[in-house]
Chains A and B, each alone.
Chain A
Amino acid sequence: MAKLELKNLRKHFDHNVIPVKDVSVNVNDGEFLTLLGPSGCGKSTLLRMIAGLDQPTQGQVILGGEDLTNIPPGKRNMAMVFQSYALYPHMTVSENISTSLKLRKVDSIEIEKRVNDVSNRLGIQHLLERKPGQLSGGQRQRVALARALVRNPDVFLLDEPLSNLDALLREQVRADLKQLFESQQKPVVYVTHDQTEAMTLSSKIAVLYDGYLQQLASPSEIYMQPANRFVAGFVGSPQMNLLTLDCQENQAILGEFSLTLPYLPTSPKAVVFGIRPEDVSLGEEADGDIVEGQVYLMEDLGKEKLLSVRINGSEQTLRAVIPADQLWESEQVKLSLSRKQMHWFDLESGDRLN
């Protein structure tokens, strides 16, 4: 079956707007690739180039070894689910689903069978004669999915399909989506700015920022070993603590305290230090470096508490996630920073150092 390759894609509109600068990614059968990034990072443009809705200024889109550059979107055998679902308002649900098959001159008995299969699978068989205007948001989304599934395409493309659903529904649909596409065994390219969706659904995440690929890896690697400062700060909630610290030889100075830098080819003047709030604990741990500071804010997250602590001797803050029932005596507390979970980034390039 087909393999999707993106080679050095670049897209440049007039007025010096370059949403995609240079991106190369491969997606194999059975892989679920998420394009993750903040708005304006180029992920939607990238998806549109894969679909053929926009032409790359440079670079190629290759499917199963075939260069798709001159092939119009309708002939790429890809199916796309839009953020707004894009259901044709003047057609019934069943017409919406079957229209692409009719255009490909699939015979009507086969069309009927496929439409029925897909609607049963998604639980919308009772809605077939209705028009989109008569459906709820969740139902419309399922129709959009059905329309994509019925095509049996080589690649699935999804553009933020969950963002128009309310929070509760989103969780449920997320789980359904995962199961649905696992059984399809085709490459899936999924665009979102929501990291939870990216983490739970994907086999591979491509973090994009400013038109460039920041990191391409599995969800756990992205989380545990972010390749640069941007990825570190973007993935993970509550956000990773990122502090710019001055250095003296092989020590980074944090207020009254110092942390030992990892082995580096040159001694930098300053460095960016990262540690996730959940890797900062109250009290003294054996595998952690100790710092002290003043608690100035406590946020109750329900299952945990988020403390903001100003480190003694500096204006810098560290946030720590502690269990809900943990107490502390005074405002001056000791924090233990787990040595294994420290991340170091170069001040200028943002690249990972350790």
Chain B
Amino acid sequence: MERQEKLTGWILIAPALLILGFVFIYPIGRAFWLSLFTNNLGTQLEPIFSGLANYQRLIGDGRFWQTMWNTSVFTIISIFLELVIGMGIALVLNQAFFGRGFVRTSSLIPWALPTAVMGLAWAWIFNDQYGVVNDILTRLGFIDSQITWLGDPTRAMSAMIIADVWKTTPFIAIILLAGLQSISSDLYEAHAIDGANQWQSFWQITIPLVMPQIIIALLFRFAQAFGIFDLVQVMTGGGPGGATETVSIYIYATVRRYLDFGYGASLVVVTFLLLILAVAIAAFFLSRTRVNVMGGK
């Protein structure tokens, strides 16, 4: 009878595994294979086996490293801001107050709307002539003339970060909220009786106990931010002058615009490996803090 159970199990799970393998495993495997060929539809029609030539090119490719840098800066700053602001929102939502449901609903809206669509909205908000940001800054007297946001490298990156923080913070807040709600109020009461004030309670009780959630959120956000595409494509296109070009934009352009499949594939492989490495490092730290995540990883 247990054998029958195993058989049933495999039958039930097979379709899922097939679809996942097809959509996730196959493309990555294919990219490994393709990266060994020079296959640029712009310059030649037949792919030629070239071994690791693409990778050699990659190492010397300044644009690639620039995008790596851009992506890392974007990822780290975004995540940091999202954690801090997200924690703030989570703390707010953790309290009971009139209209909490409304606040929770509003906090879901940024997460629920398409990044690409809202990217355009943010481009509009940061518009140098008619944008709201410049308008408010002018009204408050902080600036005299209009700032070109999306035309300036640093400012464009800042604008993008702000847009991404806006979109993702609520999601982080909800995850942190779940962690906050799992902390029994007894602990705070005992700590208060021991003489701690709220600030101390926050650092000595809240943060350590929410750490599992923080790390999980970090892990997922890291992978997500690293692959950010929608926002960049729509808001800045990677400009000005490649200042906001992230890895995914570069890969996309290489394949779609330059039709350089072989090289594009090698970019995919390298990015993939770097990502796995980063995740492995993060997971290592995760187990170091002895977080009780489920046994799969």
List residues of chain A with CB under 8 Å of any chain B CB: 55, 70, 72
Q: Which residue of A lies closest to B2 (CB)?
A: A55
Q: Map CB proximity to A onto B1-23 as digits: 1 under 8 Å, 0 otherwise.
A: 11000000000000000000000
Show 4 residue pairs from A and B whose CB-CB distance is below 8 angstroms, ordered by the A residue.
A55-B1, A55-B2, A70-B1, A72-B1
Q: Which residue of B lies closest to A52 (CB)?
A: B1
For residue B1, which residues in chain A have a CB less than 8 angstroms away from its CB?
A: 55, 70, 72
For residue A55, which residues in chain B have a CB less than 8 angstroms away from its CB?
A: 1-2
CA distance A70 to B3 in the complex (A): 12
Q: Which residue of A lies closest to B4 (CB)?
A: A72
CA distance A35 to B1 in the complex (A): 26
CA distance A70 to B4 in the complex (A): 12
Q: Which residue of B lies closest to A70 (CB)?
A: B1
For residue A70, which residues in chain B have a CB less than 8 angstroms away from its CB?
A: 1
A-B contact count (CB 8 A): 4
- For B, the interface residue count at a CB cutoff of 8 angstroms equals 2
CA distance A72 to B2 in the complex (A): 11
Q: Map CB proximity to A onto B39-74 as digits: 1 under 8 Å, 0 otherwise.
A: 000000000000000000000000000000000000
For residue B2, which residues in chain A have a CB less than 8 angstroms away from its CB?
A: 55
CA distance A215 to B261 in the complex (A): 77
For residue A72, which residues in chain B have a CB less than 8 angstroms away from its CB?
A: 1
**Closest CB-CB distance, A144 to chain B, in whole Å?**
25
CA distance A70 to B1 in the complex (A): 7
CA distance A55 to B1 in the complex (A): 8
CA distance A120 to B2 in the complex (A): 40
**Closest CB-CB distance, B97 to chain A, in whole Å?**
31
**Closest CB-CB distance, B292 to chain A, in whole Å?**
18
CA distance A72 to B1 in the complex (A): 7
CA distance A116 to B202 in the complex (A): 61
CA distance A72 to B4 in the complex (A): 11
Q: Which residue of B lies closest to A69 (CB)?
A: B1
**Closest CB-CB distance, A74 to chain B, in whole Å?**
11
CA distance A310 to B274 in the complex (A): 73
CA distance A252 to B113 in the complex (A): 83
**Closest CB-CB distance, B235 to chain A, in whole Å?**
48
**Closest CB-CB distance, B9 to chain A, in whole Å?**
16
* CB neighbors of A among B91-112 (8 A): none
**Closest CB-CB distance, A293 to chain B, in whole Å?**
43
CA distance A72 to B8 in the complex (A): 15
CA distance A70 to B2 in the complex (A): 10
Q: Which residue of B lies closest to A71 (CB)?
A: B1
Counting from the closest, the 4 A-B pairs by CB-CB distance are: A72-B1, A55-B2, A55-B1, A70-B1
CA distance A55 to B2 in the complex (A): 8
CA distance A55 to B5 in the complex (A): 12
**Closest CB-CB distance, B257 to chain A, in whole Å?**
55
CA distance A16 to B159 in the complex (A): 58
**Closest CB-CB distance, A347 to chain B, in whole Å?**
42
CA distance A55 to B3 in the complex (A): 12
CA distance A343 to B1 in the complex (A): 47
**Closest CB-CB distance, B84 to chain A, in whole Å?**
43
CA distance A55 to B4 in the complex (A): 13
**Closest CB-CB distance, A43 to chain B, in whole Å?**
22
**Closest CB-CB distance, A214 to chain B, in whole Å?**
30
**Closest CB-CB distance, B3 to chain A, in whole Å?**
11
**Closest CB-CB distance, B234 to chain A, in whole Å?**
46
**Closest CB-CB distance, B216 to chain A, in whole Å?**
27
Q: Map CB proximity to A onto B201-232 as digits: 1 under 8 Å, 0 otherwise.
A: 00000000000000000000000000000000
**Closest CB-CB distance, B295 to chain A, in whole Å?**
13
**Closest CB-CB distance, B45 to chain A, in whole Å?**
58
**Closest CB-CB distance, A17 to chain B, in whole Å?**
16
**Closest CB-CB distance, A67 to chain B, in whole Å?**
14
**Closest CB-CB distance, B46 to chain A, in whole Å?**
55
**Closest CB-CB distance, A75 to chain B, in whole Å?**
11
**Closest CB-CB distance, B199 to chain A, in whole Å?**
44
Q: Which residue of B lies closest to A73 (CB)?
A: B1
**Closest CB-CB distance, A157 to chain B, in whole Å?**
18
CA distance A320 to B1 in the complex (A): 54
**Closest CB-CB distance, A14 to chain B, in whole Å?**
13
